[in-house]
Structure 1
Amino acid sequence: MFDFLDQYPYLLPVIIFFGRIIDVTLGTLRIIFVSKGEKYKAPIIGFFEVFIWIVIISQIFSRANDLLAYISYAAGYATGNYVGIIIESRIAFGVLVCRIYTNKEPSSLVRMIKNRGYGVTVMEGMGSIMKAWVVEAVVERKALKEIDQYITNFDKNTFYTAEDVRIRQKGIFPEPTSFFNRWRPGK
């Protein structure tokens, strides 16, 4: 499969490096999909992850006999972790529960979040010092930056947390858009 490496041995560290980047990136994404309960995506990604790993490790065992190959293996691993995290943050896969704690009456914030298409629950209570409100909304992870902007516009001193949600059922969420409907004329 890699017979050309006998003629061009200097390419082996390059192939190892980039193979490990792909392998570890897929591994990072697989772990994320497993943690989100994606039982169909995780095994497919895992298949390609292990296939690439076997190909790379077989080349290391059969040809690699220098420190540069070993360093490229380790560097590919480290870079793959970094790339996997960047890709995961770009796709922003998943759902979060956003809990907002404020001392300011939250009706304008609630209106902003509702206008975005999400359901909102408001609870009134007593904080450490004074009256407080807790505003909760289950939102797509992709929308967190927008929700953060709403919170900042509402009151820059407001405290909030966001936690992963593994499963959601029912509730009020924006109408999902199909990948293909985004570019359809008239929509």
Structure 2
Amino acid sequence: MTSIILIFVLQLIYVPILTLRTIFLVKNMSVAASSFGVLEALVYVFGLSLVFSGHQTIAGMIVYAVGFGVGLYIGSRIENKLAIGFVSLAVNLLDLNEELIVVLRNKGFGVTVFEGKGRDSKRYQLEILTKRNRENEVMSIIEEYEPKAFIISYEPRKFKGGYLVKSMKKYFRRQNEGHQSN
């Protein structure tokens, strides 16, 4: 019974590590991905050695599989809380909402406005790039000011220049100056 509980606990540790390693790898964060890879391999080998120790039972194998599934759920929840990376939102509006644009900009979001021609009339699109951990905040603001907006959210892989990059550089410059004066 102890080995079955240990197998389950190991899966609850292993799979979130696997999930985070994969995410860090996809986001090109090689050092973090490598570190999680080492931990993943250690837990994996130890867990498999318990399952295939010669005393394998159907219950042990089922617990291994269930632990894997629960671990995936936990890993995805952890990743959602960390919200690593950036998100780009394309917000399509029927009318130009200057108040929404001002509110978004005052909250620190870079907003680019495009005007286009739809089937029946002019349309407007706001393009917003922000950190993933602020995506729900942006969505709430848009919902409050434009409940009928059509929004597409996606994760950009690479970007260069622009408002967000400039503001990040200023932030890191201020952080470094603060650490040097201490």
One fold, TM greater than 0.5?
A: yes
Q: Secondary structure at the match of 2:110?
A: coil
Alignment partner, residue 43 of structure 1? 34
Q: Is the 8 A contact 1:117 1:172 kept in 2?
A: no
Gaps in structure 1 of 5+ consecutive residues = 1-9, 181-187
Q: For the aligned residues, what is the CA RMSD?
A: 1.7
The structure 2 residue matched to 1:52, chosen from 38, 43, 46, is 43
Deviations 1:96-153 (A, max 9, x none): 1111000121321211221121221111011222210010011111111110011111
TM-score, structure 1 as length reference: 0.85
Percent of aligned pairs sharing the same letter: 27
- Equivalent position of 2:114 in the other structure: 123
Report the count of equivalent residues: 169
| Greater share of helix | 2
Query: 1:21 & 1:95 partners in 2: Cα distance?
Result: 28
The answer on 1:70 being equivalent to 2:97 is no
Report runs of 4+ in structure 1 exceeding 4 Å deviation: 174-177
Q: Can you give the 5+ residue segments of structure 2 that lack an aligned partner in the other structure? A: 176-182
1:33/1:43 Cα in 2 relative to 1: closer, same or farther (>3 Å)?
same
- Could you say which residue in structure 1 is the equivalent of 2:151? 160
1:110 corresponds to: 101
- Which residue of structure 1 lines up, in the alignment, with residue 14 of structure 2? 23
Query: Within 5 Å, which residues of 2 pair with 1:82-161?
Result: 82-161=73-152
